[in-house]
């Protein structure tokens, strides 16, 4: 589904759905068609681009640690609701063979596909109606609260069960958008109830909690 189909299905206004799923994650409106793709100073450029979206900006001081915790699992990454996250590869030395970035927003998909210096293959995809076919390390970073908001706990549980055959990394915010409420503990409990898999690793940064599950069997 695209924004319009989701709005129709849930009896919501398209503008509200676009805001909730896309615009609210940016600090200001961004026209991706106007962003020039550089040939040098790629690390500096990556930092500037990652500052545009909230989750990636908050992660900037922690990307090295975060990738260090993930790169051993697979050289195929499937990033569900990727946003700008794939660009963080420019901050580290490691490269997967393939980085499949799945996002509902055409602007993000087109932009990521222009970055031919990274092994990114971006595709339009809706995690409210689709499950990825590829196998590898699946990232579900900061997307579970959206799934829960639209479809509830059962959908999340079934979604995780249908990702069997992969390593799954899930992240969620430790604080509410206003920064006042501590919500990490509730999500941690929620995810552990929703996932039938064994935990391989759990760690946190200032703003985010990560849980990695072995769903290969």
Ligand X SMILES: C[S@@+](CC[C@H](N)C(=O)[O-])C[C@H]1O[C@@H](n2cnc3c(N)ncnc32)[C@H](O)[C@@H]1O
The residue among 86 and 194 lying less far from ligand X, judged by its C-beta, is 86
Q: Closest CB to ligand X among 19 and 198?
A: 19
Angstrom CA distances, 169 to 20, 32, 216, stand at: 23, 28, 13
Please report how close the Cβ of residue 133 comes to ligand X at its closest, in angstroms.
15
Residue burial 164-176, b: 16+ Cβ < 10 Å; e: rest: eebbbbbbbbbee
Cβ contact 54:27 at 8 Å: yes
State in angstroms the smallest separation of the CB of 40 from ligand X: 25
How many CB atoms are located within 10 Å of the residue 217 CB? 7
Helix (H) and strand (E) counts for the chain? 9, 7
* Cβ closest to ligand X, residue 177 vs residue 198: 177
- DSSP 8-state class, residue 70: T
Tell the smallest beta-carbon distance from residue 39 to ligand X (Å): 25
Q: Would you give the distance in Å from CA 82 to the centre of its chain?
A: 4
**Minimal distance, residue 21 CB to ligand X, in Å:** 4
- Nearer to ligand X by Cβ, of 108 and 115: the residue is 108
For 54, the 3-state DSSP assignment is: helix
- Tell me which residues touch ligand X (CB under 6 A): 21-22, 25, 55-56, 81-83, 85, 103-105, 108, 125-128, 141-143, 146
Task: For the chain, give the number of residues.
Answer: 217
- 78 SS3 class: strand
CB 139 to ligand X: min, Å: 7
- Measured from the CB atom, the residue of 82 and 195 that comes closer to ligand X is 82
Nearer to ligand X, 61 or 198 (CB): 61
Minimum Å gap between C-beta 80 and ligand X is: 7
Q: Which residues contact 198 (CB under 8 A, 6 or more apart)?
A: 213, 214
**Nearest position to ligand X, beta carbon:** 83
């Amino acid at each position: 589904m695209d924004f319009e189909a989701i709005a129709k299905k849930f009896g919501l206004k398209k503008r509200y759905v676009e805001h909730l799923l896309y615009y609210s994650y940016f600090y200001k409106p961004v026209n991706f068609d106007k962003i020039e793709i550089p040939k040098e100073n790629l690390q500096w450029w990556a930092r500037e681009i990652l500052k545009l979206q909230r989750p990636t900006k908050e992660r900037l001081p922690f990307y090295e640690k975060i990738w260090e915790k993930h790169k051993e699992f697979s050289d195929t990454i499937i990033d569900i609701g990727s946003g700008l996250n794939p660009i963080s590869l420019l901050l580290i030395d490691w490269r997967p063979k393939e980085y499949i970035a799945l996002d509902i927003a055409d602007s993000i998909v087109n932009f990521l596909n222009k970055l031919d210096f990274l092994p990114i293959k971006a595709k339009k995809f809706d995690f409210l109606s689709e499950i990825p076919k590829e196998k590898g390390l699946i990232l579900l970073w900061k997307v579970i609260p959206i799934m829960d908001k639209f479809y509830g706990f059962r959908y999340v549980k079934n979604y995780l069960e249908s990702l069997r055959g992969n390593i799954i990394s899930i992240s969620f915010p430790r604080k509410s958008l206003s920064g006042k409420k501590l919500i990490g503990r509730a999500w941690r409990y929620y995810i552990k109830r929703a996932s039938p898999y064994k935990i391989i690793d759990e760690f946190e940064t200032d703003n985010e909690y990560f849980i990695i599950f072995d769903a290969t069997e």
